[in-house]
Amino acid sequence: MTPDLVLDKSDPGDDVAARFDYQHSYAAINAIGLIISDDYVEVICENHEDYLLKNNVGKFIGKQIKTRKITLAPFKAGDPQVANALEKFCLLDQKFPGCFEGFDLTTNHAFWENEQSPSNLPWLLTTLQQRGGIKGLRENNPLRQFVKGIAGSIGLSPQDVATTLIRTTVRGHASEITHIRSSVQEALCECPGIKDLPYATVAVIAKAVVQLARDASAKALRGPITELFAPGTDLKKAVDDQLLAGKRICKADVLAVIDQFKGSSKPYQDIDVSTLVTPADAPSDLVVAFRKLAKGGVEAARVTNIEDRVRSFEKLFIEWCQKYGANEAKKRYNNVLAAVQFEAAEAHASAEKGAEPYGSVMYGALAERLKVRAKADRDQLYGCRPEHLIGAAGVLTQQCKTWWSPRFDVAEDVP
């Protein structure tokens, strides 16, 4: 036995890498937002905060990202990571007065909200914002004690701390750290012309935009070396200017990454789908389906839509169980799958006669066939709507009973 054949489950390095990847991916989502909206003009990575979002009037939002295994307890107001983030917001607000529109603390996990208590950060911040400060509160009031505790730790007045916290928001996504990659792809699909690209192409673009954010988070000079050594140049200032430039992501940077792949006439060829679409890119129980749809060149908007349709079909199955019992529900479920499998086979037989990839053509044909079938055989399909039937097609795809391209070897490591 050699070390390259045994997985070291005690090594925390990959966990640390996943946490940084979450931060970079979240920055990438905000960078993609520069294309969707004109409200913000720059994302500045690892400069004073995890990243700064600059709006079109020169104000900033300071953002911090905190990650935690989803199996652990939600963040509480008194947790060191939370306290440190809020303290840093307050100090930064004082260091650059009038520059910050607000502050945001985001986590893949959630914030504890079981009751109105000093541990409930969303309640504390909302109450503070509604009151406009702590004036008039008794000394033993939990909100006053919360604000004064932060103020005492960093040497600021409670009024200054309250002024910052009033402009602070928190958001929890309640999802695994690795699911952030699929969120990057969903954000990309909001950009003009992206949702109609093959899913595999969108996955490649998503990885490239995340890499853009990762590069901006590193200390890298951005500019020609001649600027550093030009006559009369203050070298220290020139280096600082280039380091700052390297941390900035603007709309043009993101568009350049997208155009690099979007402009290819054959973006779906020469792509190894088995490594492109990983469990981090799709729901863990739909990875096979996502890979197969991607291999077939199905558009990103259609692929990401499959998950919702599968969940809709699964919800219907649960409703059948509750109403008719498990045996009847299973019979209905299997009958619907059989009907959809027939329609999928017909759509595949028709589509494969054309040029590859033919997954998009097959999807369109199948959607139309299922729409007709749902209307014509409503009773035989137990009242299923077309979206339920598309969900059934997603289940069949995951089970390798439906293909959207010529068959290929799906990676063995797929759960």
Which tens digit of pLDDT belongs to each residue from 14-37? 677 888 999 999 999 999 999 999
User: Does the structure show a pLDDT above 60 at 269?
Assistant: no
Q: Which residue spans within 303-379 are E strands per DSSP?
A: none
In percent, the amount of the chain with pLDDT more than 90 equals 57
Q: Are 104 and 171 in contact (CB under 8 A)?
A: yes
In percent, the amount of the chain with pLDDT more than 70 equals 86
The helix/strand/coil state of 34 is helix
Which tens digit of pLDDT belongs to each residue from 290-300? 888 888 989 88
Q: Which residue spans within 177-318 are E strands per DSSP?
A: 248-250
Q: Where are the domains of the chain?
A: 11-177, 276-415
Cα-Cα end-to-end distance for the chain: 25
Q: Are 115 and 74 in contact (CB under 8 A)?
A: no
Cis, bond preceding 198 (omega within 30 deg of 0)? no
| Contacts of residue 313, Cβ cutoff 8 Å, sequence gap at least 6 | 336, 388, 389, 391, 392, 394, 395
Q: What is the pLDDT of residue 324?
A: 86
List the single range of 203-217, 258-272, 309-323, 376-390 with lowest mean pLDDT: 258-272
Which tens digit of pLDDT belongs to each residue from 323-340? 888 888 889 999 999 999
Which of the four pLDDT bands, split at 50, 70 and 90, describes residue 271? very low
Give residue for tokens 């990057």.
184
Compute the average pLDDT of residues 48-60.
Answer: 94
Q: What is the pLDDT of residue 60?
A: 96
Give residue for tokens 């009773």.
379
Q: What is the pLDDT of residue 325?
A: 84
Burial class (CB in 10 A: 0-12, 13-18, 19+), 125: buried
Q: Are 199 and 294 in contact (CB under 8 A)?
A: yes
Q: What is the pLDDT of residue 152?
A: 95
pTM (global) more than 0.75: no
CA distances from 30 to 25, 201, 315 (A): 9, 20, 32
Which tens digit of pLDDT belongs to each residue from 197-256? 888 788 889 999 999 999 999 877 676 665 665 666 677 887 788 888 889 999 999 999
